[in-house]
Amino acid sequence: MNKTAQSVWNNCLEFIKDNIQPQAYKTWFEPIVAVKLTETALSIQVPSKFFYEWLEEHYVKILKVALTKELGETAKLVYIIKMENTYGNKQPFTEKIPSSNRTAVKAQDVDIPLNNKNPELKNPFIIPGIRNVKIESQLNPNYNFENFLEGDSNRLARNAGIAVANKPGGTSFNPLLIFGGVGLGKTHLAHAIGVDIKDKYPEKTVLYISAEKFTQQYIDSVKKNNRNDFIHFYQIIDVLIIDDVQFLSGKSGTQDVFFHIFNHLHQNGKQVILTSDKAPVDMQDIEQRLLSRFKWGLSAELQNPDFETRVSILKNKLYRDGVEMPEDIIDYVAKNIKTNVRELEGAIISLIAQSSFNKKEITINLAKDIVEKFVKNTKREVSIDYIQKVVSDYFQMDVDTLQSKTRKRHIVQARQLAMFFAKKFTKASLASIGSQIGKRDHATVLHACKTVDNLSSTDKQFRKYVEDLTKKLSL
């Protein structure tokens, strides 16, 4: 069978697809075009230098395995970096590298033919003499890259953000759409990109605005009959950052005007950065043509930070505030708040405040109280009351009997089982378990736990109790 670049690449893709996350596949492999095949080398075209670097850093192993399967041990991969030309010129800029080895490719800078036309601006949003007037960026300098800590959960989005900040409008990430759940850093990252651009390119007009405010401005402009001025104002911006675009859902007028602004900016090589609480595929009531624009660039997800990242975010926060905190407290907070960095920070701020205002020592118990207030949708924990009820039902006795002082063997066993499960399924201390199950002390609970452990490894009937009850309690 005759191999072509396409057929070889398709086989590689099939293999790769099976071995990586669908979202990663979509982001990093679907945009690649196979362009050339020699006996041992496959040339693929990638959309940018950043893209190439990302592939090299994260997928070189799997690429190697895939390609070796196709072309044998001597297989080589050649990258061709396509510079996306966003300036209306249809000729793609490409650069080839020698097919004999795979080395880093330096993408050349393209001369950007700037759009020099001065649009006629009659416009209440700007004072005449526009070129001398600074548009306030509305950026928050406290949200920068330096204090946006990197972790697996945000690596792609953060690095794409840096790439965009280095070359606004000049990467294939246009628009850059940052999406993810509440409190995961979308707004922070969006500001950080803007702040960095302002730093590197002070002459560029950068504007940060929430989709909500954008909508409000648009509605006002319609009321005041100056919709065109509104549009013109946005069309002269070099870097437009719109936060929470899901807010546009169902607002067709605003979507329509945004569509025109977006097209104008994009065609003129201006950078658009968007954030949303959902991936484009999951957005509701956003016009198709707008959704398809969102997908032109890169959609990068902010995921829940892993434990290490949560710890470093907390430590960084404490360090910046000049506060010391015991490691076990930091660990406790990081372990228990998993899905929202804002809550993570909120809990630590509360802890600091509590301890300094009330002169309380920061203890695990104080941390527990505060964390509980911050974690809203925690999984319902089985309560000790519930455990006692389930155990008594199982042995067909009532809870009072289970708690009584009697030494009858089957009642003692039930009580010990209740204590054992309370230890296993709740975070309560031995002392607290004891006091709730018939006012026993912590030593009694400890003894109960050991007894249950012993009996379940020596006594078959008893093991069955433990298994049955475990099932009932885990439902």
Binding site for Mg ion (CB under 5 A): 186-187
Nearer to ligand ADP, 104 or 182 (CB): 182
Is there a contact between 234 and 261 (Cβ–Cβ < 8 Å)? yes
CB of 148 to ligand ADP, least distance (A): 5
- Going from the C-alpha of 171 to that of each of 84, 195, 265, 266, 406, the distances in angstroms are 7, 18, 14, 12, 77
- The span from the CA of 416 to the CA of 409, in Å, is 10
Torsion of the alpha carbons at 216, 219, 224 and 230, rounded to the nearest 10: 80
Among ligand ADP, Mg ion, none, the one that 342 touches (CB under a kind-dependent 5 to 8 A) is ligand ADP
Neighbours of 133 (CB within 10 A): 10
**In which order are the strands placed within the sheet that holds 41-46?**
33-37, 41-46, 76-83, 93-95
Stretch that binds ligand ADP, among 104-112, 339-347, 398-406, 409-417 (CB under 6 A): 339-347
CB of 258 to ligand ADP, least distance (A): 19
- Going from the C-alpha of 242 to that of each of 38, 57, 137, 413, 440, the distances in angstroms are 46, 30, 12, 63, 60
Nearest residue relative to ligand ADP (C-beta)? 185
Beta strands in 143-276 (DSSP E): 176-180, 206-210, 239-243, 271-276
Query: What are the residues facing 273 on neighbouring strands?
Result: 176, 241
Nearer to ligand ADP, 219 or 352 (CB): 352
- Largest Cα–Cα distance of the chain, in whole Å? 95
Interface map 281-300 toward ligand ADP (x if CB under 6 A):
--------------------
Interface map 46-85 toward ligand ADP (x if CB under 6 A):
----------------------------------------
Nearer to Mg ion, 187 or 309 (CB): 187
Place of tokens 């690095």: 159
Q: Is 367 helix (H, G, I), strand (E, B) or coil?
A: helix
139 binds ligand ADP, rule: CB under 6 A: no
Residues 340-379 that bind ligand ADP (CB under 6 A): 341-342, 345
Among Mg ion, ligand ADP, none, the one that 345 touches (CB under a kind-dependent 5 to 8 A) is ligand ADP
CB of 186 to Mg ion, least distance (A): 5
CB of 147 to ligand ADP, least distance (A): 6
Stretch that binds ligand ADP, among 216-224, 338-346, 404-412, 427-435 (CB under 6 A): 338-346
Nearer to Mg ion, 247 or 420 (CB): 247
Nearer to ligand ADP, 344 or 391 (CB): 344
Residues 160-219 that bind ligand ADP (CB under 6 A): 180, 182-188
Number of residues that bind ligand ADP (CB under 6 A): 16
CB of 187 to ligand ADP, least distance (A): 3
Sign of CA dihedral 233, 236, 241, 242: positive
Q: Is 407 helix (H, G, I), strand (E, B) or coil?
A: coil
Among 16, 55, 149, 257, binds ligand ADP (CB under 6 A): 149
Strands 41-46 and 33-37: antiparallel
Cα Rg, the chain, nearest whole Å: 30
Q: Phi/psi at 287 (nearest 5 deg)? A: -55, 145
Residue 354 CA to chain centroid, in angstroms? 30
152 binds ligand ADP, rule: CB under 6 A: no
Helices 307-321 + 327-336 axis angle, to 10: 130
273 binds ligand ADP, rule: CB under 6 A: no
Place of tokens 């301890």: 355
Query: What are the residues facing 178 on neighbouring strands?
Result: 275, 300
Nearer to ligand ADP, 82 or 158 (CB): 158
Nearer to Mg ion, 247 or 258 (CB): 247
Nearer to ligand ADP, 172 or 187 (CB): 187
- The span from the CA of 2 to the CA of 200, in Å, is 51
Nearer to Mg ion, 45 or 187 (CB): 187
Among Mg ion, ligand ADP, none, the one that 46 touches (CB under a kind-dependent 5 to 8 A) is none
Nearer to ligand ADP, 335 or 464 (CB): 335
- The span from the CA of 378 to the CA of 381, in Å, is 8
Element (H, E) at 442: helix 442-458
Residues 227-266 that bind ligand ADP (CB under 6 A): none
Using CB under 6 A as the criterion, which residues of the chain lie in contact with ligand ADP when the complex forms?
Answer: 147-149, 154, 180, 182-188, 313, 341-342, 345
